[in-house]
Structures are given as structure tokens and as C-alpha cells.
Amino acid sequence: MGLIDYADAYRMLQRYGIRSVESRYVPNAKEAVSFSKGKPIVLKAISQKALHKSRSGLVALNLSSDKEITQSYNQLTRKAQQFRPYKILAQRMVSRGTEIIIGGKIDSQFGKMILLGLGGIYVETFKDFALRLCPITKYDAESMLRQLKSSAIVAPDKQTASHITELLLKTSRMFMENEITELDLNPVLIHDGTYDAVDLRIIK
Amino acid sequence: MKKGNQKIKYADLRHIMSPKSVAIIGASENPDKIGHVILQNYVDSGFAGKIYPININTTGKILSFKAYKSVLELKGKVDLAVIAIPAQVVPQALDECGRAGVKGAVVVSGGFAEVGEVKLEEDLIRVANKYSMPVIGPNCLGVMDLRSRNDTLFLPTFKIDRPKIGGVSFASQSGAVGSTVLDLISNEGFGLARFISYGNASVVDEVDVLEYLAHDKETKVIVFYIEGVKRGKEFAETAKKTTKLKPVVIIKGGVTSAGSQAAHSHTAALAGSAEAYEAIFRQFGFAIATDIKDLLNFAKIFDTQPPATGNRIAIITNGGGTGVLATDAVCQNGLVVAKLSKESEQSLRKSMPPIVNIRMPLDMAGDADDKRFSTVLEVIENDPNIDAIIAVALFQTPGADSRVAATLIHYATHMSKPMVVISMGGSYTKMHKEMMESAGVPVYDSPGDAARSLAALINYSRYKKGI
């Protein structure tokens, strides 16, 4: 059991056509600046020992100037000392959107199950989620979305709804075809008529 | 049930449910013994097949039946053995059943894995597998089949009512919930097809029971109380197949367990075992009841009403306030209040007195008699904007009498749309409620019960259409 490296997880999602924000490990502040190309980015310290990055202060959002990026990079590396070994990941900053969670776990009785819920910081507060046994059908995916109390917030229009059902079907396939015991895509940001997985946690 | 590694297609419970001959192992003259009560019940219920009391200490006769020391004396003659003897000697008695060619057994006796006697239960399973014999129990009430008057319950008939014959089958892991619900069903309008209390589920388990009831021709609706399942994956597969054939109403005991505390992900923290069960029920179209009352509420709508084409509900009433409460209940349960079509509106405007507002909820006023009910229901039956009907019939009103009940019976049993009735009140109402229920109309005491039950039916209809 162990967390799959972010870069490997990212590639796995790409293989299944699951959109996630462009990301790269950056060995130093200079590389982070060049990844940014003047556009806003996010820096995250990634460590097996820190499962809740934002809670541990290991995330710096919305950095665009060279100075901001360099300063935050140095701050992050200081904070991350207690979680060594770690790596710093640079990601494109996605503008605002609704945060959802797509997850997977193995139930001891029934097997692999997939979860859809209102995501980000709301997961544990509202516990608004739907769960199904994998592999799921299109009907299952649609009924998961319908089941959410927040379905009108999560999928305000048909296009978004079909993005989410597609995403659920792809995630179910990925979960079934790989040696995965748990996974969190949290949050997945719903924005501008599309979506992007912003944080990934896949456990072997 | 499993035989070695090889799975049996599904446990053949026919001989257990409707046997032509029964051996009661542990039958006794002593009224304090469970074996006595079981034998007495077979006599009282008028079982038409052969009855063979078995008692190792017998001197010849028990309750005027010829008694035997062992089932081995009856080789080839016995369909069902009901075993009510101390746990230690059950495996041996079961082995004798196997050698005598008994086709199935119910082990009523407790004292197995539920009290830590795991080895004893393993012995029982081994014997059952050796003879490929379906065994229900141990630690259970067993079965009741009203058509063949087969009744293994060790509860005297004066303590628990026996239901009438019908299409609802009820399976329960727990004997306590089993007997309580059975007693309650006896006082409902609908009847029972089969009852199975399967206790420790050591041989015949939840999957076998569900599969048997799914294929059973007498069973229209399955009602299930479970605390857990032994074969999760097979249960999910069987659930999926079963709900394609008939509705299943389920209640699960022990749903308040928390998610795993040591979880590595949000997902694992959110989705504990109780959530997994609920997800499986939902995914495969079970109607989930959260209390015993809803178990019965849901059973009666599934037993009598056709599937719904959608969730647009017409509410008609002879009492304004109750119509408003019904409207609230409809909205709270994910249903919508229907809008009358233009044609319906025009037709009702002509036929209703001026005091009636032609809109939903349709308040037909306190003087509404059977003719007014009938006129409205005729229009609603043919309105394409309406999928299902809630009729509030308050029998305290000046216009309502037995003719209103008869009208409601006519529509609720002839329409292609589902209909439920809400009637609340004292003895005059209760009389009409019984009249309607025994004719196949689901009648509810409260708008909440009615709307929840209708929502359960509509969800299942949508599930069947969607998959």
C-alpha cells in the first residue's frame, strides 16, 4: 500500500482521458518561474507523509510574478522539511469553479466502489455524496448525480452533467483496470463548460 | 449455498416451503418443549401432508401420531425435517436426515456460532454439504407457507396472528423482527406468500433466499430484513437480477456504523460499510425502508398498484387542509404536483360546483359525494399530464360514505395509473379503510406515509425503465 507518485497518477488519468491541470515537478524556484510563463500557477509540496496538503500549509495559490513564485517556493521548502522526502509540484492555476470529489475505495464486502460528491472543503461538512459498485453504467452515473442534494450546484446545465457522467464512467474503468485500492480526485474543478482534476491521490 | 468450491445454481427450497411430509425431530408430549409447540401448530394449521414426530425417547405415540426414534426408520418418505433439539446433537440428527434422503431441513435450535460454538456450526455445514441438503438456520423461526399450511414457527397461534394468503413474501435474518412483522402483516389488507426466517444463514443464506423468492411464482413483492450479507458480490448480482423481475423492499439493521477512522482518503472516510449497503440497495433498485412501518407501507403499494410513468401527482381531496399537507408531503419526497391539462380544466369547470377551484390540489369541498369523486377521477385517469393520484378521503365530512369508498376501490383497482388513498380518523374511517384495503387499495394514515410510499413505487418504476 502506498501513494502513487503524482506524475505517474497524472499519466494514468491521461491514459483514460480524464482531464487534469498541467503539472510538473520543479527542482528549484527558477524552473517554477519558467513553468509559469507569466501566468498564475500553484505550488504544492508533495510527500507520502503529508496526506492533507492544504491543512499542513503545503499549498501556495495564485502565484504569477517571478518574485511571488520564488518567495513561495522557498517558504514551501522550509515548511516541507518535516515531511522529507518531498518534491515541489507546479500546476497551472485554474480560475474559480465548483469543486467536486470523485473517489474510489474497496469495500470489504462488495468490492470496488466509486463516489461522487460535493468536493473541496465541503466534503466533510455536508457529506453530500453518492456511492455505487463498479463497474458502473451510464444510468448509474446519471443517478449518482441526481442523488446529490447539491446536484443543481454541481451540474447546473446539461453539458456539465454529461461531463460529470463521462468522468465517472472513465474513473470507474480506470479503477477496475488497475491495481488501485483507494483514490481521490479532490477537488475536480467544474469551470468554463469543462472540468479539471486539480488534486489527485491514488493509492496502490 | 456453496458445495465445496462449486456453486449450486440456487438452493432448491421447494421441499422446505411446500413439503408433502414433515418429520419433527424433537417432537414431544411435554408442552414446555419447543418440539411440542411446533407439532401442535402443524395440527392447528391443518397441514394436509404426513406428519412424523421423531423423539429418541419415544414409547410409540406423540399427540396421537405414531412416533419414531429416528428419521432413519422413514427412509425416502420425508420432504422436510424440522429440527428442535439441543445444538450438540443437531449435526448427528442432520446426518441421519441425509442418510434417510430428507430433501431439506429447518434447524430451529440455537446454540451455534451466535454463542461462540463455531465448531458445532461448521459440523452442521459439513453435513449439509455432504448430502447437498438445503438447511435453513440454525437459530431461526424457519418458514411459513400458507398455501401448503406449512408452518415451522414455534410461536403458539394464540400469541401471533397468521396472515391471510397473498403475494408478499417476507424474509428476515432476525426471528424477533420476523415474528413482529408477521403479526403486523396479519392485520394489514395484503396477504403473505412465503415467510422465511433464516437465522445464522450458515447453509442457505441471503443470496439463496433472494434468488428463490425472485423465481417463486407466488411471490409478487419481496420484503427483506437483513443485518448483513455473507457473500457481498453474489448478493449484488442477485439483487440486480431480482429487481428486473419484481420489487424488493428492504430494511437493514445496523446502519449507524461510522466510516473507517484510519482512512487514507476522503472517499474511504466517507464511505463506510453502512453507506456501501445503502449504495448497493439504491444501485439495484431496492426500495429502502428506514423503519418497520414503511416496510408495510411500501409492501402494500407494490402489491396492489401498477408502475408509474412519471412523478407528476394529482392530489384530490374533500378537505382543504389535508390537501395542503399532502401537497407538502409530495414536494418533500421528490415528487411534483401535476398541472391539469386544458381539456381536464374545461371539463371539470363544467361539472364541478362554483365553490370548487379548478387547480391542484383539487379541493372538491366537504360535500363531495361519490359522484363528485367519480367525475374527477374519470377526468384524471385520462389526463396525460398526470402519472399518479393521491386521493384524500375524509369520512368525517357530510358527503363521504361507503359509496365514496366503493368509488375509490373501483378506480384504484382498474386504472393503469397508481393511486393511493389518505384516510385518517376513528371507527367510521377505520371501517372504510379496511373495506378499501381488503379490496386492494393502499390506504394511509398520513400524507407523509402516502407520499413516501408513492415515491418508492415511482423510483422503482423509473429504475426499471432506466436500466
Q: Are A105 and B265 in contact (CB < 8 Å)?
A: yes
B275 lies within 8 A of chain A by CB: yes
Q: Which residues contact B193 (CB under 8 A, 6 or more apart)?
A: B146, B165, B166, B167, B168, B169, B216, B218, B219, B220
CATH class of the structural domain A22-92: alpha beta
How near does any CA of chain B get to the CA of A124, in Å? 8
Higher pLDDT, B88 or A64: B88
Nearest CA distance, A199 vs chain B (angstrom):
12
Name the burial class of residue B181, with classes exposed (0-12), middle (13-18) and buried (19+) by CB atoms within 10 angstroms of its CB.
buried
Strands A41-46 and B221-226: unpaired
CA–chain centroid gap for A175, Å, is 15
Quick one: closest CA in B to A202, which residue?
B265
At residue B256, the pLDDT reads 65
Among candidate residues B112, B140, B168, the one where a domain is terminated: B140
Q: Are residues B297 and B311 both part of a single domain? A: no
Q: What is the pLDDT of residue B7?
A: 47
- Which A residues 36-55 touch B at CB under 8 Å? 51
- Mean local confidence (pLDDT), B37-61: 94
Per the CB < 8 A criterion, the answer to whether B31 and B60 are in contact is no
Query: Helix, strand, coil % (nearest 5) of chain A?
Result: 40, 30, 30
Q: Are residues B418 and B274 in the same domain?
A: no
Separation of alpha carbons B364 and B384, rounded Å:
21
Under an 8 A CB cutoff, do B273 and A201 touch? no
Query: Which whole number is the average pLDDT over B118-145?
Result: 96
Query: Do B133 and B262 lie in a common domain?
Result: no
Contact B214, B242 (CB under 8 A): yes
Is 60 exceeded by the pLDDT of residue A93?
A: yes
Q: Residue A140 pLDDT > 50, yes or no?
A: yes
Q: Hunting for cell 439441543 — which residue is that?
A: B86
What letter does residue B112 receive in the DSSP assignment?
Answer: S
Q: Work out the pLDDT band at B4, boundaries 50, 70, 90.
A: very low
**Over the stretch B265-295, which tens digit does the pLDDT of each residue have?**
778 878 888 899 999 999 999 999 999 999 9
d(CA B302, CA B459): 12
Tell me: do B300 and B413 sit in the same domain.
no
Sequence-ordered strand ranges (E) for B365-412: 388-392
- Residue B242 grid cell: 431480482
How many domains does one find in chain B? 3
pLDDT, position B2: 55
Q: What is the mean pLDDT of chain B?
A: 93
Domain with CATH 3.30.470.20 in chain A: 98-203
Q: Cα B266–B272–B275 angle (5° rounding)?
A: 110
- Mapped onto helix, strand or coil, the DSSP state of residue B288 is strand
Which of B304, B334, B361 marks a domain boundary?
Answer: B304
Where are the alpha helices (H) located in A65-157, listed in sequence order? Answer: 66-79, 123-126, 138-147, 151-154
Same structural domain, B133 and B6: yes
E strands in chain A: 23-25, 41-46, 59-63, 87-92, 98-107, 111-118, 129-133, 182-191, 194-197, 200-203
Q: Which of A19-28, B170-179, B386-395 has the highest mean pLDDT?
A: B386-395
CB contact under 8 A, B268 and A182: yes
Averaged pLDDT, A136-143: 96
The C-alpha R_g of chain A, in whole angstroms, comes to 17
**Do B108 and B184 share a domain, yes or no?**
no
Q: What's the confidence (pLDDT) of residue A2?
A: 82
Q: Could you tell me which residue, A38 or B392, shows the higher pLDDT?
A: B392
With CA atoms as reference, report the closest residue to A114 among A8, A18, A7: A18
Structural domain contains residue B236: yes
CATH number of the domain encompassing residue B71: 3.40.50.720
Over the stretch B177-217, which tens digit does the pLDDT of each residue have?
A: 999 999 999 999 999 999 999 999 999 999 999 999 999 99
Question: Which residues of chain A neighbour B233 with C-beta distances below 8 Å?
Answer: 110-111
Q: Which residues pair with B53 in a beta bridge?
A: B24
**Complex ipTM value:** 0.87
Q: B258 — contact with chain A (CB < 8 Å)? A: no
Inform me whether the pLDDT recorded for B408 exceeds 90: yes
- DSSP for B200-233, please give it: T-SSS-HHHHHHHHHH-TT-SEEEEEES--S-HH
Domain boundaries for CATH 3.30.1490.20 within chain A: 22-92
**Measured distance CA(A81)–CA(A5) in Å, rounded:** 19
What are the chain B neighbours of A203 within 8 Å (beta carbons)? Answer: 264-265
With beta carbons less than 8 A apart as the criterion, state whether B399 and B368 touch.
Answer: yes
Quick one: B117 and B261 in the same domain?
A: no
| pLDDT score recorded for residue A102 | 96
Residue B380 inside a domain? The answer is: yes
Q: What is the arithmetic mean of pLDDT over B380-397?
A: 97
Which residues constitute the domain of residue B385? 306-466
Q: Are residues B266 and B279 in the same domain?
A: yes
Q: Residue B260: its pLDDT value, please?
A: 45
> Bigger pLDDT: A166 or B12?
A166
Note whether B215 and B351 are same-domain residues: no
CA distance B339 to B345: 9
The domain that holds B282 is classified in CATH as: 3.40.50.261
Mutate to test the interface with A, among B207, B238, B265, B275 (most CBs of A within 10 A): B265
CB contact under 8 A, A139 and B466: yes
CB proximity A137 to B under 8 Å: yes
Q: For domain A98-203, give its CATH number from 3.30.470.20, 3.40.50.150, 3.40.50.300, 3.40.50.2000.
A: 3.30.470.20
Say if the Cβ atoms of A124 and B269 lie within 8 Å. Answer: yes
Give the pLDDT mean for B9-30.
90
Q: How far is CA B81 from the centre of its chain?
A: 25
Q: Which pairing describes strands A87-92 and B6-7: parallel, antiparallel, or unpaired?
A: unpaired
Give percent above pLDDT 90 in chain B. 88
- Residue B154 inside a domain? The answer is no
A201 part of contact set with chain B, CB < 8 Å: yes
Instruction: Please report the pLDDT score of residue B6 as a whole number.
Output: 46
A161 close to A174: Cβ distance less than 8 angstroms: no
Of B254, B276, B304, the one marking the end of a domain is B304
